[in-house]
Amino acid sequence: MDAQEPLDLRSPGAGETALALDARKAKAPLTSGFNFILLLIVVIALAISFGPAEMGKASLLVTDAGNMGTYLSGFLSPDFGQWQLYLREIVITVQIALWGTFLAVAAAVPFGLLAARNVAPTWVVQPVRRLMDLFRSINELVIATIFIVAVGLGPFAGVMALAVHTTGVLAKLFSEAVEAIEPGPVEGVRATGASRLQEVVWGVIPQVLPLWTSFALYRFESNARSSTVLGIIGAGGIGALLMQNIRSFNYERTAAIVILMVVAVVIIDNLSQAIRKRLI
């Protein structure tokens, strides 16, 4: 039996190094030109959108700052007389975000794999990506109104609205993480005669699981804030109480609700950040 030739792990020779340097030098002007064109496009887009975005009103932030101060002065004496009610509604708001994120993760895992070019064929990737674009492009408020018509007012409509929108977001992030994996572990699993599904389970998912978990925790933080807004249209949570007090000009109770909401979000952010640091 002929002996196998050893792998050539030596550093490249002088000729190869010179060729690599020449390639980089030839590519540098192209990169610089592309960066300049991209910057020019951004500047032109900003200039065109200056008027439609009414950026000229920025001076009013200074000239009419007194009006904002007068409005905000009403929030300086928060009324915590109904703190138990506020706290109960905030807990429901967090629970809406928790279930919405959980359902979204459960759906985003298969969709994310099917949207990855290195896992699924093109005829599967493209339809799945367009479906996720649809989920991601529709705001949670619009989705919530659709579910309110179907299931009525309450937290469940909020859960489903967050689940649909977050599925589109997480599936995109999950697929990008899958496309950035190292091929070595997958090839090692394939060499054992594993099936396609086993390659994904043992070669792909272990590489992306920490990043997927980090994405899911981040979206939970975001959904905890979004679920507050969903309550304004009757999809459960503290949002309904918040809007009720704002409309009745009860700034003291509004301030109390906002303070409790901020505390809840800070706690969630800190816990999520601590977990992400352990994972990544």
On whether both 155 and 43 belong to a single domain, the answer is no
Block residue for tokens 């389970």? 201
Mean pLDDT for back-to-back runs of 10 residues, the chain (280 residues): 40 46 56 81 89 82 75 76 86 92 94 89 91 90 89 89 94 91 81 80 86 89 86 81 82 86 86 77
* pLDDT on residue 216: 92
**CA dihedral in degrees (61, 63, 64, 69; nearest 10)?**
80
In a domain, 3, yes or no: no
Q: What is the C-alpha separation between 212 and 155, in angstroms, rounded?
A: 26
In a domain, 123, yes or no: yes
Domain span holding position 27: 15-63
Kindly report the CATH number assigned to the domain that includes residue 212.
1.10.3720.10
Alpha helices in the chain (DSSP H): 14-49, 60-63, 65-73, 83-114, 122-137, 140-151, 155-179, 183-191, 196-199, 205-230, 239-247, 251-279
Q: What is the C-alpha separation between 9 and 270, in angstroms, rounded?
A: 46
In a domain, 100, yes or no: yes
In a domain, 127, yes or no: yes
In a domain, 5, yes or no: no
On whether both 55 and 101 belong to a single domain, the answer is no
3-state secondary structure of 117: coil
On whether both 143 and 171 belong to a single domain, the answer is yes
On whether both 143 and 216 belong to a single domain, the answer is yes
Verdict on whether the full-model pTM lies above 0.85:
no
On whether both 97 and 41 belong to a single domain, the answer is no
On whether both 171 and 260 belong to a single domain, the answer is yes
- Report DSSP state, residue 55: G
Closest CA to 213 of 136, 276, 163: 276
Quick one: residue 54, left, alpha or beta (phi over 0 = left, psi -120 to 50 = alpha)?
left
On whether both 186 and 270 belong to a single domain, the answer is yes
On whether both 208 and 145 belong to a single domain, the answer is yes
Quote the number of domains for the chain: 2
Q: What is the C-alpha separation between 245 and 257, in angstroms, rounded?
A: 9
Q: What is the 3 state secondary structure string of 176-197?
A: HHHHCCCHHHHHHHHHCCCCHH
Q: What is the C-alpha separation between 56 and 101, in angstroms, rounded?
A: 39
CA angle 178, 196, 173 (to 5 degrees): 15
Closest CA to 204 of 219, 221, 184, 223: 184
Query: Who's near 264: CB < 8 A, 6+ residues apart?
Result: 90, 93, 94, 224
Closest CA to 159 of 133, 132, 186, 140: 140
Closest CA to 96 of 218, 193, 229, 257: 229
In a domain, 69, yes or no: no
On whether both 37 and 95 belong to a single domain, the answer is no
3-state secondary structure of 120: coil
On whether both 149 and 177 belong to a single domain, the answer is yes
On whether both 29 and 90 belong to a single domain, the answer is no
In a domain, 6, yes or no: no
**CA dihedral in degrees (227, 233, 238, 241; nearest 10)?**
160
On whether both 180 and 42 belong to a single domain, the answer is no
In a domain, 72, yes or no: no
